């Protein structure tokens, strides 16, 4: 999986815990001592939890990007900033560099300060405005303290994260400049002697996220980096939806559509109608359900209908799949915010790394072509999403497109 931190801790944490990001190490309280007075004692050291700090950082950053600082974790943010500043006053602060880097606390402070510069405060009550100003002030002081304590190391944090990304999220995955852009530029070696270990120790749950399909192939959920149905190491059929488009028919049912040659019609899925398969969605898919970046496993879906038809005007085939999400699994609402801000940090590093490799191995002209193609894909995807969201505001099913003149139709139902 996309683990880029210590080997024992997953970078993506999807358990929405409400536990505090830190606790206090303290001796057993005396009978006349309250827990409140213990937590305020100068001698008491905070016991930081890096996983919960990452959850807090992601939660606040997600709220900031949505234009809202007063998310459910806002009080935790205030408590953290206060505790972190007190920690900086110690001779040996307990919040170390690795924990700051892992939990993306540097980016949390940077986004909080940027938000403070642009936020409109006219609609806030005096109490909320005061709390927000205190948070911004403490964030500014905390960042200043970290810069003074870590010096160049603090400013080189992203470079260090990139090295960790290569060792973790991109482990056993290599860049190949000869591969076609549409199929990706990465490949992995098939290591058959590791399959039994993966089957024994790895479980895929909805919400798992990868930088690209090659990373998913490496981990065994799919058996190819191509956009085709395959059986992973568990024997489950998995279908990556990397291109084409998707229409929401009902809250749990979608219609997937793609055009191409006969070989693009996933004919092998005819035998899977009525059965459950794993669905992965990529960021290039034109769908309001697609992730913002990378590739996400969205769970088990039943194929309710399979069909393809030939358009005489374009001489292209059109595949239509009706997919219904299984109910006995994690709700989609709980995974639709994946990738989280920290994972989008990794995505930005991954794109920069790929661009640098294209420039180094293929030259400036190929790099500019690669960059332009990425930008065009992003603009095209955003325009489609805006149009679909506008239509979805009127109807869940969306408006049907104009009819086409077809001379052949093949449809299979369970």
Say what percent of the chain tops pLDDT 90: 52
SS3 of 90, please? coil
Question: Which of these ranges, 178-192, 206-220, 296-310, has the smallest mean pLDDT?
Answer: 178-192
CA–CA gap between residue 397 and residue 105 (Å, rounded): 41
Is the pLDDT at 124 greater than 60? The verdict is: yes
State the pLDDT at residue 401.
Answer: 42
Please provide the CATH number assigned to the domain covering 169-412. Answer: 2.30.280.10
Contact 409, 307 (CB under 8 A): yes
How far is it, in rounded angstroms, from Cα 74 to Cα 341?
Answer: 17
Bridging pattern class, strands 237-241 and 276-282: parallel
Give the pLDDT band of residue 47 (cuts 50, 70, 90): confident
- 411: pLDDT confidence band, cut at 50, 70 and 90? low
Structure tokens at 141: 């002081």
Q: Note the pLDDT of residue 232.
A: 72
Residues forming beta bridges with residue 246, ordered by sequence position: 256
Is the pLDDT score of 192 beyond 90? no
Q: What is the pTM of this model?
A: 0.81
Q: pLDDT (tens digit, 9 = 90+) per residue, 345-387?
A: 999 999 999 999 989 988 999 899 989 988 998 888 888 878 8
| Cα separation, 132 vs 117, whole angstroms | 12
| pLDDT value for 66 | 85
Q: What is the DSSP string of 4-47?
A: -S-TTS-S-------S-SEEEE-PPPPTT--HHHHHH-TTPEEE
Domain ranges across the chain: 40-162, 169-412
pLDDT for residue 37 is more than 60: no
């Amino acid at each position: 999986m996309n683990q880029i931190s210590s080997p024992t801790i997953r970078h993506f944490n999807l358990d929405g815990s409400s536990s505090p990001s830190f606790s206090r190490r303290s001796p057993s309280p005396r009978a006349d001592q309250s827990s409140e007075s213990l937590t305020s004692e100068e001698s008491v050291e905070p016991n930081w939890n890096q996983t919960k700090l990452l959850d807090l950082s992601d939660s606040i950053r997600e709220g900031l990007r949505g234009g809202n600082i007063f998310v459910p974790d806002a009080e935790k943010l205030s408590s953290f900033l206060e505790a972190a500043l007190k920690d900086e006053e110690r001779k040996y602060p307990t919040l170390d560099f690795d924990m700051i880097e892992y939990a993306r606390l540097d980016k949390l402070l940077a986004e909080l300060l940027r938000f403070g510069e642009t936020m409109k405060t006219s609609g806030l009550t005096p109490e909320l405005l005061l709390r927000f100003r205190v948070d911004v002030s403490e964030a500014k002081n905390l960042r200043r303290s970290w810069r003074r304590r870590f010096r160049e190391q603090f400013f080189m944090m992203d470079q260090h994260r990139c090295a960790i990304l290569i060792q973790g999220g991109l482990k056993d995955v290599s860049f190949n400049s000869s591969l076609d852009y549409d199929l990706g530029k990465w490949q992995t070696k098939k290591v058959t002697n590791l399959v039994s270990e993966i089957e024994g120790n790895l479980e895929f749950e909805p919400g798992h996220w990868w930088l690209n399909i090659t990373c998913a192939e490496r981990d065994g959920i799919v058996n190819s980096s191509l956009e085709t149905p395959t059986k992973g190491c568990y024997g489950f059929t998995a279908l990556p939806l990397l291109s084409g488009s998707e229409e929401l028919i009902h809250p749990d049912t979608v219609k997937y559509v793609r055009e191409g040659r006969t070989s693009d019609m996933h004919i092998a899925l005819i035998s899977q109608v009525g059965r459950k398969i794993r669905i992965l969605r990529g960021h290039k898919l034109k769908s309001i359900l697609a992730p913002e970046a990378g590739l996400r496993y969205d769970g088990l879906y039943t194929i309710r209908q399979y069909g393809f038809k030939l358009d005489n005007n374009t001489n292209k085939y059109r595949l239509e799949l009706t997919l219904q999400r299984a109910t006995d699994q994690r709700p989609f609402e709980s995974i639709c915010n994946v990738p989280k801000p920290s994972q989008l940090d990794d995505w930005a590093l991954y794109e920069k790394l790929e661009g640098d490799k294209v420039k180094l191995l293929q030259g400036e002209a190929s790099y500019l072509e690669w960059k332009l193609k990425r930008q065009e894909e992003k603009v095209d995807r955003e325009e489609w999403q805006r149009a679909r969201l506008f239509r979805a505001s009127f109807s869940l099913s969306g408006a049907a497109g104009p009819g086409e003149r077809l001379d052949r139709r093949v449809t299979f139902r369970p």
